[in-house]
Structure 1
Amino acid sequence: MFCNQCEQTAKGIGCNIAGVCGKNEEVADLQDLLVYALEGLALFAAEARKHEIIDPATDLFTYEAIFSTLTNVDFDPDRFVLLINKTIELREAMKARVAAAGGRTDFSEPQASFQPGGSVEALASQGAALKFIESLDSDENIRSLKQTLLYGLKGIAAYADHAAILGQEDDQVAAFCYEALCALMLEGLSVEQCVPVAMKAGEINLRAMELLDAGNTGTYGHPVPTSVPLGHRKGKCILITGHDLRDLELLLKQTEGKGIDIYTHGEMLPCHGYPELKKYDHLHGHFGTAWQNQHREFPNFPGPILFTTNCIQKPRDEYRDRVFTNGLVGWPGVKHIEDKDYSAVIEMALAMDGFSEDLETSSVMVGFARNTVLGVADTVIEAVKSKAIRHFFLVGGCDGAKPGRDYFTKFVEQVPDDCMVLTLACGKFRFFDQDLGAIGGIPRLLDVGQCNDAYSAIQIAVALAGAFDCDVNDLPLSMVLSWYEQKAVAILLTLLYLGVKDIRLGPTLPAFITPAVLQFLVDTFEIKPVAANPEDDLKAILGEVA
């Protein structure tokens, strides 16, 4: 195996024995084979669109299949067998429709005629033989750009899948997924030919995040400022972690009136700000300290745990017997929920002790998405003009367990009192419970939401630039971003597509970025790695705007 798609890849180079994330060689090879099979499907799906043949079911499957290869989503070999075989079935069905329409079907690429083996072992062997990353291109710089496109595509597919669950779809997103998969197979490309496709990935990801935002706010209302307790109350309980708001809604509906409190974890924290979710009285609070949110630790939670969508790490063995997974998420031996029926989770919650007493601790504020922030835009603008607010920092992104991520904690701790901090995604758990005070009645730490709520942050920046009649890059705004997996790559491509410059990225740069490609990013977008210590970055940033 070889995998370097996440920030925590072994030795900053690549995992070649077992994934730092926990996936083994067999799963890694199956994931490579699935992407290879999807390339074959993409050839016919892209051709089909030339003849006005579009199949929404195939598009949705493609999102889900690509999404399943994202870091820490699915580690279950048996489920990859199903996905690979389904891909071939859909490829052949699309090929027949294209042929009937008089389209091209004589593709010479081996992906177009690939036939899968008949067992997990045979499929894994086929995947290993591909040497998939190496096969992308013999030129390391073209290979680097193709990997950037591939990993951005995985993030796009994740957001498109989330959005589709809430009824929000756009064919241009699906069309680009096929276009990108086809681009991975092209040979003899130059750097100049690869860059526009990567930039288009950023454009399409913006659309995917916009669709998801429309689905979330259209279904559950715009987030409002909400105080979320970090303690707990006596009683039965279930903890839910992940990303999908629909999963939380269904769990709340199925537990209503059963005497079970629902606690969020990780990226579910922002859900407390949505009016149509916070109306449930048994959505009680958020479980876990910053450490527990970073490392997916649940030793003190006395109830079942529901994993939805992708998570930072697979569950530890000591509590795997009370873990359930939902949707695409899967690990061998872990109970998987089918058809959104949470009765098994509820039964376990009722059978377990739950919390034996009330515990009041601190609380955190959520709900500062674009509607809330832009609702006080006049106050913010006046504070900037009067110099009560000197600078804005967007400090957010992904989180993980690798050393070096305390940089972001130290950075926020040292941000001057006349500066604001906006944050989003699970990177906020490095500092989400800090009290930074307020400026003019506005909290200095504003939680914009989940990683996909980068869309909200972008809208805030665009609106402020309009108010000050300047370019986004001329705002007193700096982005200091942590990255971990492929949704972060997609968001970074979106920011670059929008022309945002001077982004600081860390704690380390992507292993799949070659020195030449990095130099292109530096020259074009002034992107740079975070410094060894936050003091140097703060000095440089604030010195530039003094």
Structure 2
Amino acid sequence: MEHKMFCYQCQETAGCTGCTQSGVCGKKPDVAAMQDLLVYVTKGLSAVTTAFRKQGGEIPAEINHLITLNLFTTITNANFDKEDIVSRVHETLDAKRALLAKVHNADVLPKAAVWDGAESDFAAKAATVGVLSTENEDIRSLRELITYGLKGLSAYSKHANALLQEDGEVNAFLQRALAATLDDSLSADDLIALTLETGKYGVSGMALLDRANTQTYGNPEITKVSIGVGKNPGILVSGHDLRDLEMLLEQTQGTGVDVYTHSEMLPAHYYPTFKKYPNFVGNYGNAWWKQTEEFASFNGPIVMTTNCIVPPKDSYKDRLYTTGAAGYPGCNHIAGGIGEEKDFSKVIAHAKRCAAPVEIETGEIVGGFAHNQVLALADKIVEAVKSGAIKKFVVMAGCDGRAKGRSYYTDFAKALPKDAVILTAGCAKYKYNKLNLGDIGGIPRVLDAGQCNDSYSLAVIAMKLQEVFGLDDINDLPIVYNIAWYEQKAVIVLLALLYLGVKNIHLGPTLPAFLSPNVAKILVDSFGIAGIGSVEDDIELFFGKNGETSSVTGDMLMGDILRQYPEAAPALMECGMHCLGCPSAQAESLADACMVHGLDAEHVLAAVNEKLKG
């Protein structure tokens, strides 16, 4: 089979002459090849650690961290530095070699576990281990779905590790699942089960990070964040690593240098601990893909703590610093591992030589609606739902991007009925978080929980509302899901939601390119996964014509009723229709379902439509 390169930016096959989706990846073929090899040897090491655990052995923390950081290094737009990736391949082979000597029956391990090449062998080996090296497209698709989910899980784990938090079960599963993607004896059904198990541990990984962040920095609270600038020189911080930001803030006290967040780092402003720093002045700019213009006008140095890096322009490349899993050739890298104090003095000295940022906008944005804060407002929210002031919540989480099709999310937010509230986490919010959408009885119509790292809050909020309303099924909540798909952390969030039983999630602008037709069909048939249409069609799908709830009729299919009017589910169940989740039940009309259950169709219709009127 002819080996083709695989684009880590958009998850599509390409010749790496440029990203086919957004034009911003910038990874060269040799860098992408070394990423392929790093993933391969990391899977091999994971097969060894899994075998060693089965013998009763204990894996050292540094090896767990190595595997986690390796995966994070290959996540979307994190590291473009070939030398750094090659160095990580060597480090992984060294660790595997030492541990392999302690494993019994090593001859039954997969080839990746025993491969040990010199650097002169790396390029040739990389050409044989890319994602398209598996012939069966369904097996390949499921392996990639799992691998991308594990990359997202590695990101959550790495940030928790930076705050000295660990979960041994998450580490063991991540490595076991990586090893399983090498196992040719596993069937598609086996891999589907592993995919859902990945979602289970995704919930655990998100909970671990949430606990690490809140125990260290306090629970996020409603906060107004300035989007203007001050008169002092500044340092701009992007990525997701709160510990890096904390160290930088500590080292800039009394220096006359201000600190700003960009894109992914915005949620740091919501944590109480960071509010004690007087030079932590605001957020500069918008989503990650706008950095080429916004970094230029910032004037000061930029610190990328993780993804997402866009290949920098010469006008500011000398001001771009990386740390942790992030890297870009020709840019300065700040060293320091887990538990180590990083030295940002070079960045601070650089900032002092720079002019203050150029103001690109003014005003404030409001955020901080993580689960603890939203649950503090639970009584108010429940009353608004019961009174009909809030008819539906719309989860619009996920990722932003440059593609013109993503303007859909801005237009969709503008078109939402006035009684709908957006729940968001991730940089997708930059499509609408500066719109004046108002509030409902003091409840803002955009409840921003934070970044993709804070997606756990959306799951907790949904589960708590399910409990408050006394519902047996999370899908009976008045919540619809319209999520912007992009990179690997979006995969683990999706798998976590599927594990929690959430159905009828819409993904856009397109479904993930690495899903084979058969795997996509499984997701559609089993979980109701769907794409997006036009704004007008989707508003009608979710809310009825003109954004107003219309009547349910007896000839409507049960599946369409539940997707378009999830709040009808409690009324249907009260009438005695308890098998709403059954696939066959969703394919029959309400009238036929009533006949099967021996129910009076007119009585059920009246009850449902009365419920929809609020």
How far apart in 2 are the matches of 1:296 and 1:509? 29
Q: Counterpart amino acid of 2:469? A: F
Residue matched to 1:172: 169
Does 2:201 align with 1:198?
Answer: no
1:337 pairs, out of 334, 338, 350, with 334
Residue matched to 1:14: 13
Does 2:459 align with 1:458?
Answer: yes
Q: Counterpart amino acid of 2:78? A: V
Does 2:269 align with 1:272?
Answer: yes
- How far residue 444 of structure 1 moved from its aligned partner, in angstroms, is 1.0
- Residue range with higher mean Cα deviation, 421-430 or 47-56: 47-56
How far apart in 2 are the matches of 1:297 and 1:59? 37
How far apart in 2 are the matches of 1:170 and 1:18? 40
Q: Is the 8 A contact 1:307 1:326 kept in 2?
A: yes
- How far residue 437 of structure 1 moved from its aligned partner, in angstroms, is 0.9
Residue matched to 1:444: 445
Q: Secondary structure at the match of 2:295?
A: coil
Q: Is the 8 A contact 1:312 1:399 kept in 2?
A: no
- How far residue 4 of structure 1 moved from its aligned partner, in angstroms, is 4.3
Does 2:27 align with 1:29?
Answer: no
Say if 1:294 and 1:403 are closer, same or farther in 2 by CA, change over 3 A.
Answer: farther
Say if 1:155 and 1:465 are closer, same or farther in 2 by CA, change over 3 A.
Answer: same
Q: Secondary structure at the match of 1:473?
A: helix
Residue matched to 2:6: 3
Aligned-residue CA RMSD in angstroms?
1.7
Q: Secondary structure at the match of 1:432?
A: coil
How far apart in 2 are the matches of 1:39 and 1:111? 7
Q: How does 1:248-327 map to 2 (within 5 A)?
A: 248-289=245-286, 293=290, 297-311=294-308, 313-327=310-324
Q: Secondary structure at the match of 2:281?
A: strand
Q: Counterpart amino acid of 1:331? A: Y
- How far residue 312 of structure 1 moved from its aligned partner, in angstroms, is 5.0
Q: Is the 8 A contact 1:85 1:116 kept in 2?
A: no
> 1:198-232 CA deviation, whole Å, 9 max, x = no partner?
01111111111111101110000000111001111
Does 2:96 align with 1:91?
Answer: yes
How far apart in 1 are the matches of 2:211 and 2:465? 21
Residue matched to 1:526: 528
How far apart in 2 are the matches of 1:91 and 1:131? 18
- How far residue 388 of structure 1 moved from its aligned partner, in angstroms, is 0.6
How far apart in 1 are the matches of 2:207 and 2:440? 30
- How far residue 317 of structure 1 moved from its aligned partner, in angstroms, is 2.7
How far apart in 1 are the matches of 2:406 and 2:510? 9
Q: Secondary structure at the match of 2:404?
A: coil
Q: Counterpart amino acid of 1:96? A: A
> 1:127-178 CA deviation, whole Å, 9 max, x = no partner?
11x1421223x22111111110111111111111111111111111111122
Q: Secondary structure at the match of 1:317?
A: coil
Say if 1:439 and 1:46 are closer, same or farther in 2 by CA, change over 3 A.
Answer: same
- How far residue 76 of structure 1 moved from its aligned partner, in angstroms, is 0.8
How far apart in 1 are the matches of 2:48 and 2:57? 10
How far apart in 2 are the matches of 1:260 and 1:77? 33
2:132 pairs, out of 131, 134, 149, with 134
- How far residue 265 of structure 1 moved from its aligned partner, in angstroms, is 0.2
Say if 1:27 and 1:360 are closer, same or farther in 2 by CA, change over 3 A.
Answer: closer
Residue matched to 1:222: 219
Q: Is the 8 A contact 2:38 2:89 kept in 1?
A: yes
Q: Is the 8 A contact 1:232 1:285 kept in 2?
A: yes
Residue matched to 1:394: 395
How far apart in 1 are the matches of 2:55 and 2:78? 35
Q: Is the 8 A contact 1:320 1:334 kept in 2?
A: yes
- How far residue 294 of structure 1 moved from its aligned partner, in angstroms, is 7.1
> 1:272-324 CA deviation, whole Å, 9 max, x = no partner?
01000111111001101569757673221121111111115232232101111
How far apart in 2 are the matches of 1:326 and 1:243? 11
> 1:402-431 CA deviation, whole Å, 9 max, x = no partner?
221111111111111111111111111111
Say if 1:273 and 1:290 are closer, same or farther in 2 by CA, change over 3 A.
Answer: same
Q: Is the 8 A contact 1:237 1:349 kept in 2?
A: yes
Say if 1:108 and 1:50 are closer, same or farther in 2 by CA, change over 3 A.
Answer: closer
Say if 1:328 and 1:108 are closer, same or farther in 2 by CA, change over 3 A.
Answer: closer
2:66 pairs, out of 61, 70, 90, with 61
How far apart in 1 are the matches of 2:102 and 2:288? 53
- How far residue 113 of structure 1 moved from its aligned partner, in angstroms, is 2.3
2:43 pairs, out of 35, 39, 43, with 39
How far apart in 2 are the matches of 1:530 and 1:249? 39
Q: Is the 8 A contact 2:210 2:454 kept in 1?
A: yes
How far apart in 1 are the matches of 2:360 and 2:36? 47
Unaligned runs of 5+ in 2: 20-24, 337-341, 545-563, 566-611
Q: Counterpart amino acid of 2:255? A: K
Q: How does 1:140-179 map to 2 (within 5 A)?
A: 140-179=137-176
Q: Is the 8 A contact 2:398 2:484 kept in 1?
A: yes
Say if 1:282 and 1:157 are closer, same or farther in 2 by CA, change over 3 A.
Answer: same
- How far residue 349 of structure 1 moved from its aligned partner, in angstroms, is 0.5
Say if 1:423 and 1:294 are closer, same or farther in 2 by CA, change over 3 A.
Answer: farther
Q: Counterpart amino acid of 1:126? A: K
Q: Counterpart amino acid of 2:6? A: C
More RCO (CA 8 Å, sep 6+): 1
How far apart in 1 are the matches of 2:512 and 2:289? 25
- How far residue 359 of structure 1 moved from its aligned partner, in angstroms, is 8.4
> 1:53-103 CA deviation, whole Å, 9 max, x = no partner?
2221111110001111111111111111211111111112112233xxxx3
> 1:315-335 CA deviation, whole Å, 9 max, x = no partner?
223210111111111111111
Residue matched to 2:421: 420
How far apart in 2 are the matches of 1:510 and 1:61? 28
Q: Secondary structure at the match of 1:449?
A: coil
Q: Secondary structure at the match of 1:529?
A: coil
Q: Counterpart amino acid of 1:412? A: A
Q: Counterpart amino acid of 2:460? A: Q
> 1:28-56 CA deviation, whole Å, 9 max, x = no partner?
11111111112221222001111222221
Q: Counterpart amino acid of 1:82? A: S
Q: Secondary structure at the match of 2:230?
A: coil
Q: TM-score, normalized by length of structure 1?
A: 0.94
How far apart in 1 are the matches of 2:136 and 2:502? 28
Task: Find the structure with the greater CA-based Rg.
Answer: 2
- Residue range with higher mean Cα deviation, 369-378 or 183-192: 183-192
How far apart in 2 are the matches of 1:211 and 1:152? 16
Q: Counterpart amino acid of 2:203? A: L
How far apart in 1 are the matches of 2:199 and 2:291? 27
How far apart in 1 are the matches of 2:361 and 2:292? 23
Q: Is the 8 A contact 2:371 2:457 kept in 1?
A: yes
1:481 pairs, out of 467, 471, 483, with 483
Q: Secondary structure at the match of 2:486?
A: coil
Say if 1:249 and 1:393 are closer, same or farther in 2 by CA, change over 3 A.
Answer: same
Q: Is the 8 A contact 1:27 1:75 kept in 2?
A: yes
Say if 1:65 and 1:515 are closer, same or farther in 2 by CA, change over 3 A.
Answer: same
Q: Is the 8 A contact 1:27 1:124 kept in 2?
A: no
How far apart in 1 are the matches of 2:360 and 2:54? 61
- How far residue 510 of structure 1 moved from its aligned partner, in angstroms, is 0.8
Q: Secondary structure at the match of 2:26?
A: coil
Residue matched to 1:542: 543
Q: Secondary structure at the match of 1:392?
A: strand
Say if 1:19 and 1:493 are closer, same or farther in 2 by CA, change over 3 A.
Answer: farther
Q: Is the 8 A contact 1:223 1:273 kept in 2?
A: yes
How far apart in 2 are the matches of 1:401 and 1:366? 23
Q: Secondary structure at the match of 2:333?
A: strand
Q: Is the 8 A contact 1:290 1:432 kept in 2?
A: no
Q: Secondary structure at the match of 2:297?
A: coil
Aligned length: 532
